[in-house]
Chains A and B, each alone.
Chain A
Amino acid sequence: MTETSRPGMSRRSTLALMGAGAVTFATPWVARAQAKTIKIGMPTILSGRVAQLGTSSRNGVMIEVDKINAAGGLAGRQIEMVIRDSKGAPQEAARVARELVNTDGCEILVDAEASSGAFAVHEVARDLGVFCIHTNSETSSLTADPKQHIPNAFRTARQGVHDSIVGGGYAAAIAKAKGLKKWATCSPDYAYGRDTTGEFVYYLKQFAPDVEIISDAWPKLFQPDYTEVVTKILQAKPQALYSALWGGDLTSYIDQANIYALFGQMEVFAVNMADYTALTVVKNLPKGIHSGNRYIKTYPATAENAAWGDAYKAKYNEYPTNWSWENATAVMLIAEASRKANSADGKKLADAMRGLTIKSPFGADGTVTMRAEDQTLIGYAIGWGTTIANEPYVPEVKSGDWKQILALEAEWKKTKGYT
């Protein structure tokens, strides 16, 4: 009896081909890794009340991508940005991120979502294993919590706990000098607002133990009307108010609080005030709001920072925002990691990026570092000051001390059970 072979493919080779196909479709970025251009996917918020910040994220990325492409690209590959609107909805951010990788063939994700969406994109990065860099989420736990840690995800956004340490120290000094013991808080009711406010209060009380929080308000993210929140705070009669509201929410709040003369009745500490987004939109900006620096071209007061801010304005006809520099930093780090690894491969980029220090216009000492242990950015310029209604908006910024920030952050991580 002779064995005859059937024409066409054997069952075994069919199965092998199907298996290879399944792997290819499941991890399309692997199959496309050798493409000449490298696609970088970017889910961000391009519509709704924070669209301006999403647009400024895109601009921050593009200003640096254009430079890299002009210089020959990422390890010889031209960058093609694929930027999609998530509308600020976490489920949409996750869907868009997945589509960018699986359908559009993006090999890198620049996650320019607010915290609400960033955690959703983080899970997509965990699932797909794609190199991902979070650029806007400041919620500390995103990188501080070991449960969130994945080797392929990094963060170039400032961290809430860093702002809170510097802000807590700054506010405590004013509280002691002016006898501000009764405080209220008003922050958006989601991960960033809750975490950052909790951290600010923690450090405020560390530095000024006799401070007491007598009222707190948690308006929804993108809430249109803050009347009941404003009146609730007025009823409590605090001597000082802390707020982590941002963007259009902050400007709405200021407009509505202004007509109750709230700003004349208490000292206000709004961590997100000193950003051109808010500073230039509010028509009747009250004097003397204390704020953390977000992005202003006069801080850090270096020629490099001023030049970067001016170049951005020349190109986009508006000043950069906090999200702009955070996104630009992501691209700067990717470029440097690519040079170091001589590759644009996601895994090699991740290896090269851990512990990487680069020169930066946004660095406290002219450099920023991607800390290896939790893959988050440190060393950026961070400080607090008092706003005025016109440029330079925050004439004097009291800088935070990174030595102190890192020491207190390490203690904070222990108290949270992160280390």
Chain B
Amino acid sequence: MDLDALTGCLASSACLVTQTTSGFIIGMLLFLVAVGLTLIFGVLKVVNFSHGAFYMFGAYFAMTAYQVTGSFALAMFCGAAGTAILGLVFERVFMSRVYGGDVLMQLLVCYAFVLIFDDVVRLVWGPEFRSMGMPSAFQVPPLFIAGGVVPPYYLLLIGVALAVAAILGVGLARTKVGKVIRAAAHNPGMVSALGINTGLIYGGVFALGGMLAGLAGALAAPVRSLTPGMGFSVLIESFIVTVIGGMGSILGALIGALLIGMIRSYGSLGFPLFTDGLMYLFMVIVLVARPTGLFGKEVA
């Protein structure tokens, strides 16, 4: 425990800017993965344990596209679009067969595909770790804001994640498609009786969830080493985020991810050997105080 470092940081504007930005960076990447997870659970009532694989595929698709085209924008697009298509196929061919079935069966299907997807990556891209490299446009000195250090690439990352949060929030609340998705989450039988193809909605939501995880992977690719199985660790933290925020809540995923980001960022200063423990401790406190998570709703 190093409370002096923590209090010293809180008294310094430079440190506050750097650590808060750091918290945002960690949180926003987690949010992109967790929001897909929570969206799929909210509508399909499936805990998608294979979600981390979409993060991994997003990173590999982006790296390959970047190596082939040299375009960062195209790399991001390929990461997101590729995983959306993969998500759609995965949902239609496999997951749709286990809806409403035993939870254990859903879990087994997901876990089987975690292993299969890891092996696919190993076969296609090799078992060794890979690096995409930072695009030259972002190989620039960091910005100094109030003495704090902020890399421009991370500003882009935060901006994209916030834009996604806004689009999802507005899209689900205000648009017709959003209303149908919410209705399908609440009462799929009634939606189906009204002549709406729920299979299409389910496939679309799964593709959207996969796309968001893929986008997170693509955004992370320039700064993280790529390896088969890389989705696993991010999946664990995403589950913590969704549990804290409340399963099925997009706002919960956003707040939960930011809280975890800040805990990691400031915890590394004040509690360097207990940062992971702090996350779990916080999750336990939230679950004891609000078993459904901060923004989760009681299931009737």
Contact = CB atoms under 8 A, between A and B. Distances in A.
A259 B127 contact: no
Interface string B202-230: 00000000000000000010111101111
Contacts of A224: 220, 224, 230, 233-234
Contact of B133 (A215, A222, A283): A283
B142 A235 contact: no
Interface in B152-189: 152-154
Nearest to B154: A259
Interface in A264-320: 277, 281-284
The size bracket of the interface on A is 35 or more
Given A218-B273, A231-B265, A259 B224 contact: no
A33 interface: no
B22 interface: yes
Interface string A220-231: 101111011111
Contacts of B269: 232, 235
A367 interface: no
Interface of A: 46-52, 55, 189, 215-218, 220, 222-225, 227-232, 234-235, 247-249, 251-252, 255-256, 258-261, 277, 281-284
Contact of B275 (A228, A261, A277): A228
29 contacts: A47-B127, A49-B230, A51-B227, A55-B128, A217-B268, A222-B233, A224-B233, A225-B26, A227-B265, A228-B26, A228-B265, A230-B22, A231-B19, A231-B265, A232-B268, A235-B5, A251-B131, A252-B225, A255-B133, A255-B225, A258-B134, A259-B134, A259-B138, A260-B142, A281-B129, A281-B130, A283-B132, A284-B133, A284-B139
B151 interface: yes
Contacts of A282: 131
A231 B150 CA distance: 10
A229 B268 CA distance: 7
B227 A248 contact: yes
Interface of B: 5, 9, 15, 18-19, 22-23, 25-26, 29, 118, 122, 127-134, 138-139, 141-142, 149, 151-154, 220, 222-225, 227-230, 233-234, 264-265, 267-269, 272-273, 275-276
Contact of B228 (A48, A189, A215): A48
A217 B234 contact: no
B160 to A, nearest CB: 16
A225 B142 contact: no
Contact of B227 (A48, A55, A217): A48
Contacts of A225: 26, 29, 224
Nearest to B275: A228
B233 A252 contact: no
A227 B273 CA distance: 16
A51 B151 contact: no
A228 B127 contact: no
Contacts of A55: 127-128
Contacts of B23: 228
A51 B264 contact: no
Contacts of A189: 273
B111 to A, nearest CB: 15
A235 B127 contact: no
A217 B265 CA distance: 12
Contacts of B25: 227
A37 B265 CA distance: 56
Nearest to A230: B22
B128 A52 contact: yes
A235 B15 contact: yes
A255 B224 contact: yes
A110 B56 CA distance: 32
Max chain A Cβ within 10 angstroms of own Cβ: one of B9, B18, B268, B269: B268
Contacts of B118: 47
Given A47-B127, A235-B9, A281 B225 contact: yes
A385 to B, nearest CB: 23
Max chain A Cβ within 10 angstroms of own Cβ: one of B22, B23, B139, B267: B22
